[in-house]
Amino acid sequence: MILVVGISYKTAPVALREAAAFTAESLPAALARLRAECGLREAAVLSTCNRVEIYGEGDPWALDAACRLLAERMGQTPAALQAHLFSHSGEAAVRHAFLVAASLESMVLGEAQILGQFKDAFRLAEDAGSLGPALRGLRDRAIQAARRARSEAGIGEHAVSVSHVAVELAKKIFGDLSGRSVVLVGAGKMCALAGQRLVQAGARATVVGGRTLARAEELATELGAEAAPLESLPSLLRTADVVVSGTGAPGVVLRRQDVEAALSARCGRPLFLIDIAVPRDIDADVAKLPGTFLYDIDGLQAVAAANRREREREAQKAFALVEEAVAAFVAWERTLQVQPVLVALRRRAEEVKQSELHKARRRLAGLTAEQEAAVEAVAAAIVNKLLHPPTAFLREAAARGGAADEALLAARLLGVDPAAGSAPSASATTAAVAAVPATAR
Read off the pLDDT of each residue in 50-70 and give the average, rounded to a whole number.
92
The answer to whether residue 140 sits within a structural domain is yes
The answer to whether residue 319 sits within a structural domain is no
pLDDT at 435 over 90: no
pLDDT at 92 over 90: yes
The answer to whether residue 403 sits within a structural domain is yes
Predicted local confidence at residue 409, as pLDDT: 66
User: Quick one: 145 and 214 in the same domain?
Assistant: no
Predicted local confidence at residue 417, as pLDDT: 66
User: Quick one: 108 and 173 in the same domain?
Assistant: no
Q: Which of 121, 152, 183 corresponds to the end of one domain?
A: 152
User: Quick one: 356 and 276 in the same domain?
Assistant: no
User: Quick one: 208 and 268 in the same domain?
Assistant: yes
Q: Which of 152, 182, 200 corresponds to the end of one domain?
A: 152
User: Quick one: 65 and 178 in the same domain?
Assistant: no
267 labelled catalytic:
no
User: Quick one: 117 and 207 in the same domain?
Assistant: no
Read off the pLDDT of each residue in 285-305 and give the average, rounded to a whole number.
88
The answer to whether residue 328 sits within a structural domain is no
pLDDT at 220 over 50: yes
User: Quick one: 49 and 183 in the same domain?
Assistant: no
How many distinct structural domains can be found in the chain?
3
User: Quick one: 188 and 228 in the same domain?
Assistant: yes
Q: Which of 152, 187, 219 corresponds to the end of one domain?
A: 152
Alpha-carbon gap, residue 415 to 279, rounded angstroms: 82
437 pLDDT tier (thresholds 50, 70, 90)? very low
**CATH code at position 34:** 3.30.460.30
Read off the pLDDT of each residue in 55-69 and give the average, rounded to a whole number.
91
User: Quick one: 139 and 238 in the same domain?
Assistant: no
Q: Of residues 49, 67, 191, 267, which has the active-site annotation? A: 49
The answer to whether residue 36 sits within a structural domain is yes
**CATH code at position 181:** 3.40.50.720
User: Quick one: 242 and 354 in the same domain?
Assistant: no
Read off the pLDDT of each residue in 70-97 and give the average, rounded to a whole number.
90
Predicted local confidence at residue 427, as pLDDT: 37
* pTM beyond 0.75: no
Predicted local confidence at residue 110, as pLDDT: 73
The answer to whether residue 179 sits within a structural domain is yes
Predicted local confidence at residue 439, as pLDDT: 37
User: Quick one: 285 and 182 in the same domain?
Assistant: yes
Read off the pLDDT of each residue in 112-124 and give the average, rounded to a whole number.
91
49 pLDDT tier (thresholds 50, 70, 90)? confident
Predicted local confidence at residue 403, as pLDDT: 57
Predicted local confidence at residue 428, as pLDDT: 39
The answer to whether residue 103 sits within a structural domain is yes
User: Quick one: 203 and 121 in the same domain?
Assistant: no
66 pLDDT tier (thresholds 50, 70, 90)? very high
Model pLDDT for residues 244-285, shown as the tens digit of each residue: 998 878 888 899 999 999 988 888 899 999 998 888 899 999
Range of the domain at 369: 336-426
Read off the pLDDT of each residue in 402-422 and give the average, rounded to a whole number.
62
